[in-house]
C-alpha cells in the first residue's frame, strides 16, 4: 500500500529536510515520491509537524523487578479512571498493554528496557512481547555476577571475557550490556553498605573501576553498537557528582554511556549539604566527546523506584512512601523496589532543577538523551510536560515560581534561557538514540528506513501537541489517530545475535552444573517460548 503524508512540516535533521513537504510510505518503508504519484491513502498533515517515531533508550517497562513493583503497589491503580472497555486490557492501569498504548499515543515507537537480569531473560521477553504496537529492546546486566568477577580476579584473557559477554548477550536476546553499581550488589551480600569506584569487592579483590573498564573494553571489541551502559556508584548521595566525574574521566577515549546523570548531579554545598553540581557535570560531558548520558529527570508526584542497584535501594527503604519495599538479592544484581513521592520541598526541587540544568547546559543534543528513568524519576507519562519545560522558558519560570527559593538559590536553572527547538528534539529523541543503539533502520525519515512516523498537530500548548499525536505509523501501519489507538499490532524485541563460542558454552554448562546443580538448559529458551510469530528482530554488530 502506498501512503502519502501530505503537506506537513518535515523535521528530519539527519537528511537535512526541514520544512513543508510530503512523505511517502510503501508498506513498511519510507520511499521516494513515486513518479506516478497516486497514493492509496493520503494523510492530510497540513498544520502538523512530521518526525520519525521517537525512541526511549532507558525506561523500565518490563521484567522481574518491574513486575514486583506492580505486585507491591496494587493501590497505585486506583487512581486510574475507569473508561469503557472497548479494547482488550486497555483499562489495565500499569500493565504491559497500557505501556505500549501510552507510548504509541505520544509518538514513541521503540523503547529500551535497560535492566534485564540474565537469569530472568525469558520472563522479561514475555512481558515485552505483551507490550503492543511498539518495538522493544533490552540491555543485559553484568558486573555483579560471580562468573565475571571470578574471571577478572583470575586475570582471564580478554578473549574469554568477550566470549562470556557475547554468550550472555546472545542467550538473553539483548541489544547491549549494562553494568549497575559495578560490584556493589556482590559486596552488599557480604554486608558492605557503601561502595565507590575504587573500592574492591570482598572475596574477589576486584575494584568497581576494573569491572567497568573490563566490560567497556569487551563491549567495544565485540562491536556491540551501544556503548557500555553504566549506572555509576553512589546514586542519589550528596557528593555523588564526584563519582560521576570520576566515571566520565574513566571513559578514557572509548565510548561510555552514563545513565540517569541527574541522580549524580548532587554537590554538598548549602546548609543542608545538598546542592546542584549540574553545571560542573555538564561541562565535563561537553568536554568528553566519547561520553553520552541520559538524564533521569525528576517530576513531582508519586512514583516507585525500581532498580537493580540493590545496595542503594536497601539504604533508601527508610524513605519509602507508602511504607513498604522489596529488596531482592539475585544471582547477580537482584533489585530493590521502593515507592517514593517527589514533593515540592527543598530536595525534590533540587532534583527537578538539576535534571533540567543538565538538559539545558549540555550543548550537543546527539549526546544527551531524554529520559525520566521511568518510573524512577517519574512515570513516562510525564513526557509531554517535560518537553514543554525544555522548549519553553516561560513554562519553567511558571513552575519555578511555585518552588522553594532556598532550593532555587543553589541552582542556575532560573538564569538559563535556552529553549530546545523541534530540530533538537528530533535529534535527542529520534536520530541520536537510533545512532547510539546501532539501529540504522530508524530514527530519521530517509528513503528505505522503517516507516515509524509521528505526526503532531501544531499547538501553542506543547504538552498537548506532543502528548497526543495526530497520527502515528509503526512499520507503516497507522496505529494512532488524534491521540487514540486505532489499530493494534505486535512489535518485536530488537536484539544482537553474536555466535557464542563453543568452549565457553561448555564451560558455562559445567559451571551451572557444579555451582547451581542445574544444567544450562534450565536457563536457555527457544524463540518459540515467546509464542509470537516473530518475537525478535536482529540488529547487526559493528564489523
Partner 1 sequence: MAVAWIGNRETLVERAAAHAAALLGSSRCPVFSLDTDIHGTRAAIALAERVGAAYDHAADGAALSRETALFTDKGAMTVAPGETRRRADVVVIVGELPQIHHEFVGELAETVPDLSAKNQREIFLVGSKGASAPPLNNGRTATLLSCGEASLGATLAAMRAQCRGRRTSQPVSNFDDFAKALEAAHFPVFLFSGGATEGLALEMLQGLIADLNRKSRASGLHLPANENGWGSALASTWMTGFPLRTGFARGFPEFDPWRYDVARMIAAGEADLHLRISSSIVQPQKKKNRMALIVLAKTQEPIAGAAVTIAIGEAGVDHEAVVYSSRTGSLRSVDVRAASELPSAATVIRLVASHVSAEAALSC
Binding site for partner 1 (CB under 8 A): 62, 64, 66-68, 70-74, 76-77, 82-85, 87-89, 91-98, 119-120, 122-123, 126-127, 130, 132, 146, 188-191, 203, 314, 320, 324-331, 334, 337, 487-488, 515-518, 522-526, 528-529, 531
CA distance 267 to 265: 7
User: For residues 326 and 431, which CB has a smaller minimum distance to partner 1 in the complex?
Assistant: 326
User: For residues 3 and 99, which CB has a smaller minimum distance to partner 1 in the complex?
Assistant: 99
**377 within 8 A of 298, measured Cβ to Cβ:** yes
- Residue 523 CB, shortest distance to partner 1, in Å, is 7
Crossing angle for the helix pair 158-172 and 208-222, to the nearest 10 degrees: 70
Neighbours of 283 (CB within 10 A): 14
- Residue 531 CB, shortest distance to partner 1, in Å, is 5
- Residue 58 CB, shortest distance to partner 1, in Å, is 20
Length of the chain (residues): 543
- Residue 358 CB, shortest distance to partner 1, in Å, is 32
And the C-alpha cell for 215? 566490560
Cα dihedral 125, 127, 132, 134 sign = negative
Question: Which residues, 6 or more positions from 418, have their beta carbon under 8 angstroms from its beta carbon?
Answer: 360, 393
User: For residues 87 and 286, which CB has a smaller minimum distance to partner 1 in the complex?
Assistant: 87
Q: Which residues pair with 25 in a beta bridge?
A: 3, 30
User: For residues 56 and 127, which CB has a smaller minimum distance to partner 1 in the complex?
Assistant: 127
Phi, psi of 128 (to 5 degrees): -60, -35
User: For residues 171 and 237, which CB has a smaller minimum distance to partner 1 in the complex?
Assistant: 171
User: For residues 126 and 494, which CB has a smaller minimum distance to partner 1 in the complex?
Assistant: 126
User: For residues 155 and 521, which CB has a smaller minimum distance to partner 1 in the complex?
Assistant: 521
- Residue 433 CB, shortest distance to partner 1, in Å, is 25
CA distance 313 to 325: 9
CA distance 463 to 385: 5
- Residue 16 CB, shortest distance to partner 1, in Å, is 39
- Among candidates 213, 407, 371, which has minimal Cα distance to 298? 371
- Residue 194 CB, shortest distance to partner 1, in Å, is 15
Neighbours of 205 (CB within 10 A): 11
Place of cell 566525574: 245
**H/E segment holding residue 171:** helix 158-172
- Residue 515 CB, shortest distance to partner 1, in Å, is 6
- Among candidates 141, 163, 125, 159, which has minimal Cα distance to 524? 125
**492 within 8 A of 533, measured Cβ to Cβ:** no
User: For residues 194 and 203, which CB has a smaller minimum distance to partner 1 in the complex?
Assistant: 203
User: For residues 98 and 196, which CB has a smaller minimum distance to partner 1 in the complex?
Assistant: 98
CA distance 316 to 321: 11
- Residue 310 CB, shortest distance to partner 1, in Å, is 10
Amino acid at each position: 500500500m502506498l501512503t502519502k503524508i501530505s503537506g506537513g512540516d518535515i523535521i528530519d535533521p539527519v537528511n537535512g529536510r526541514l520544512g513543508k513537504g510530503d512523505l511517502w510510505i510503501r508498506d513498511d518503508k519510507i520511499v521516494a515520491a513515486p513518479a506516478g504519484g497516486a497514493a492509496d491513502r493520503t494523510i492530510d498533515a497540513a498544520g502538523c509537524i512530521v518526525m520519525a517515531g521517537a525512541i526511549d533508550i532507558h525506561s523500565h517497562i518490563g521484567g522481574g523487578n518491574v513486575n514486583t513493583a506492580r505486585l507491591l503497589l496494587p493501590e497505585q491503580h486506583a487512581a486510574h479512571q475507569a473508561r469503557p472497555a472497548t479494547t482488550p486490557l486497555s483499562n489495565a492501569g500499569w500493565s504491559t498493554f497500557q505501556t505500549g498504548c501510552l507510548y504509541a499515543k505520544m509518538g514513541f515507537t521503540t523503547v529500551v528496557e535497560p535492566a534485564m537480569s540474565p537469569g530472568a531473560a525469558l520472563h522479561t521477553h514475555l512481558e515485552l512481547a505483551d507490550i503492543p504496537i511498539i518495538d522493544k529492546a533490552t540491555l543485559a546486566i553484568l558486573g555483579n555476577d560471580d562468573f565475571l568477577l571470578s574471571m577478572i580476579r583470575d586475570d582471564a584473557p580478554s578473549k574469554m571475557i568477550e566470549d562470556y559477554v557475547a554468550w550472555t548477550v546472545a542467550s538473553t536476546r539483548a541489544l547491549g550490556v549494562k553494568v549497575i553499581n559495578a560490584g556493589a550488589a556482590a559486596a552488599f551480600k557480604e554486608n558492605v553498605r557503601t561502595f565507590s569506584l575504587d573500592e574492591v569487592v570482598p572475596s574477589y579483590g576486584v575494584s568497581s573501576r576494573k569491572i567497568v573498564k573490563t566490560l567497556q573494553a569487551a563491549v567495544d571489541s565485540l562491536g556491540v553498537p551501544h556503548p557500555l551502559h553504566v549506572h555509576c556508584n553512589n546514586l542519589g548521595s550528596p557528593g555523588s557528582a564526584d563519582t560521576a566525574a570520576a566515571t566520565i574521566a574513566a571513559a578514557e577515549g572509548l565510548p561510555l554511556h552514563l545513565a540517569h546523570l541527574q541522580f549524580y548531579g548532587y554537590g554538598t554545598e548549602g546548609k543542608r549539604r545538598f546542592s546542584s553540581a549540574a553545571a560542573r557535570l555538564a561541562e565535563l560531558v561537553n568536554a568528553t566527546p566519547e561520553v553520552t548520558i541520559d538524564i533521569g529527570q525528576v517530576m513531582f508526584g508519586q512514583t516507585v523506584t525500581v532498580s537493580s542497584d540493590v545496595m542503594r535501594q536497601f539504604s533508601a527503604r527508610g524513605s519509602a512512601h507508602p511504607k513498604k519495599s522489596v529488596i531482592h538479592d539475585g544471582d547477580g544484581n537482584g533489585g530493590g523496589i521502593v515507592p517514593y513521592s517527589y514533593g515540592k520541598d527543598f530536595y525534590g526541587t533540587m532534583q527537578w532543577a538539576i535534571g533540567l540544568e543538565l538538559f539545558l547546559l549540555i550543548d550537543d543534543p546527539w549526546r544527551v538523551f531524554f529520559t525520566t528513568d521511568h518510573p524512577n524519576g517519574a512515570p513516562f507519562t510525564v513526557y509531554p510536560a517535560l518537553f514543554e519545560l525544555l522548549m519553553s522558558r516561560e513554562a519553567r519560570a511558571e513552575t519555578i515560581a511555585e518552588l522553594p527559593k532556598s532550593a532555587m538559590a543553589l541552582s542556575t536553572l532560573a538564569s538559563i534561557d535556552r529553549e530546545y527547538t523541534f530540530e533538537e528534539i528530533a535529534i535527542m529523541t529520534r536520530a541520536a538514540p537510533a545512532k547510539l543503539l546501532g539501529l540504522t533502520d530508524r530514527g530519521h525519515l530517509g528513503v528505505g528506513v522503517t516507516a515509524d512516523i509521528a505526526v503532531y498537530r501544531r499547538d501553542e500548548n506543547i504538552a498537548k501537541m506532543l502528548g497526543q499525536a495526530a497520527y502515528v505509523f509503526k512499520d507503516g501501519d497507522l496505529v494512532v489517530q488524534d491521540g487514540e489507538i486505532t489499530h493494534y499490532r505486535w512489535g518485536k524485541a530488537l536484539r544482537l545475535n553474536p555466535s557464542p563460542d563453543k568452549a565457553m558454552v561448555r564451560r558455562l554448562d559445567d559451571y551451572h552444573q557444579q555451582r547451581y546443580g542445574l544444567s544450562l538448559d534450565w536457563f536457555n529458551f527457544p524463540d518459540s517460548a515467546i509464542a509470537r510469530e516473530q518475537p525478535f528482530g536482529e540488529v547487526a554488530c559493528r564489523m
